[in-house]
Structures are given as structure tokens and as C-alpha cells.
Structure 1
């Protein structure tokens, strides 16, 4: 297997497993952090952009990243399961287990981002 393919496969595997967690951290910084810092300074906008727009982007962008990681984990898990059925390679079993954990974790993080986003978008900023 070429080195570049191995590197890309490794990156995609780790993105499929940890993408939702990283997106949730991004959501916390963008949606909650920017809201708190902006309101503490007495403003309702950042650089002329209303706080609700920034908070909305802080919910939608991480949710899309998490959804991409979830779909990538699902697709990889299906391939690893099919490859494991054809060959008893222990690497495929580890990969399949990692991707299964990634699917579960990404589904959890997607629901956390959606619930947190609903709270941030429903409540008026700077209450």
C-alpha cells in the first residue's frame, strides 16, 4: 500500500472516530463562548455580525462536521465488516471496532450539539 494512501486512510479513520468530539468542542467555543464574551462586553454583534448569526453558525457547522464523521464511520464500518468476513485479518477487526465506537460517539455528539444548539438559539442572547 502506498504511503500517501496509508496516511489518508489513517486520517479518515481518526476523523471518523474523533470528528464528533472535536466538532462539539468547536460548538462550545463558537456557540457558547462567543455569546458569553460578546454579552459580557455589552455588545450584541461581533464585527457587525449579529450574535444570533454567529451562534447559528456555531451550531450548524459543527453539526455538519459531526454528521460527516458519522457517515464516514458508518461507511468504513460496513467496509471493514465485509473485509473481515472475507479475511481473518485482526487489523480489520480493530478498525471495525474503532469505527463502531465512532458511530456511537458521533451520534451522541450530534444529539448533544442539537440539544445545545436548541438551547442557545431559543434563548435570547445576552439574557
Structure 2
């Protein structure tokens, strides 16, 4: 059996790495656009419903779904941290393992920050009454 992963495993590992690092930032951007954008556009139209769904339910989904995606990215960062915890081998693996470990640390801290931003923005969206005039 080969010690090197195949192309599918490398692709899956690379996608997991990028999700771990950038997942919270993308989720926050979607939260910002979906939550505040839907709120503003719905209120500008003079309605408090998005289709047949109440505005509060849509705003709740615009908070909960990005928060869950950010928690997933945080868990992926923790998994990456655990996978890179072993000491580097003598045959040159130390650079890639060290780089992966650095990405894991960046992912953990950035996802914690984006989760806090999403939760606090969600509190503002859900506590303040929509469509204030």
C-alpha cells in the first residue's frame, strides 16, 4: 500500500483545508447579505413576509444556517489540528505538516471570531424590531 494519498484523497483534504480556513468568513458574508439584505428589501416593499414565510423566520434562518456552517468549519479546523499534531518526519514532510498546522490555527481563531460576529449580528437582527419607521 502506498504512503502517498491518491488524487481523490488529496482533493478531499484540500477542500477540507480551505473549508476549515475560509468557511466562517464565507458564512459571515452570506449572513450579512441574506440577513440584512432581506430585512431591508422586505421592509422597503412594505411587507413583513417573504413570500408566505414571516420575516422573523427568514431572519432566524439567516442567522442559524451560517452559524452552523461556521461551527462546521471550526470542527474541520480542530480535525486538521489533530491530524497535524504528530512530529514531522525526517524526509521533508515538516514543511507541509507545519503549513497545515498553521492553517489549522488560523482556521480555529478566525472561525471563533466569525461565529461571535454572526451570533452578535443575529442578536441585533432578531431583537431589534424589523421595519422600524
Q: How far 1:29 sits from its partner (Å)?
A: 1.4
RMSD, matched Cα = 0.9
Match of 1:81, SS state, is: coil
TM-score if structure 2 supplies the norm length?
Answer: 0.91
Q: Does residue 19 of structure 1 match 2:23? A: yes
Q: Does residue 81 of structure 1 match 2:76? A: no
Instruction: Determine which of 80, 92, 98 is the counterpart of 2:97.
Output: 92
CA distance in 2, matches of 1:2, 1:117: 42
Structure with max Cα Rg: 2
TM-score if structure 1 supplies the norm length?
Answer: 0.95
Contact 2:31/2:62 (<8 A) preserved: yes
1:28 corresponds to which residue?
32
Instruction: Determine which of 52, 57, 61 is the counterpart of 1:57.
Output: 61
Instruction: Output one character per residue of 1:70-119: Cα deviation in whole Å (capped at 9) or x when no partner.
Output: 0110111121122xx15252100001001100100000000000000001
Question: Structure 2: 5+ residue runs without aligned partners?
Answer: none
1:103 corresponds to which residue?
108
CA distance in 2, matches of 1:5, 1:35: 41
Contact 2:70/2:111 (<8 A) preserved: yes
CA distance in 2, matches of 1:86, 1:104: 23
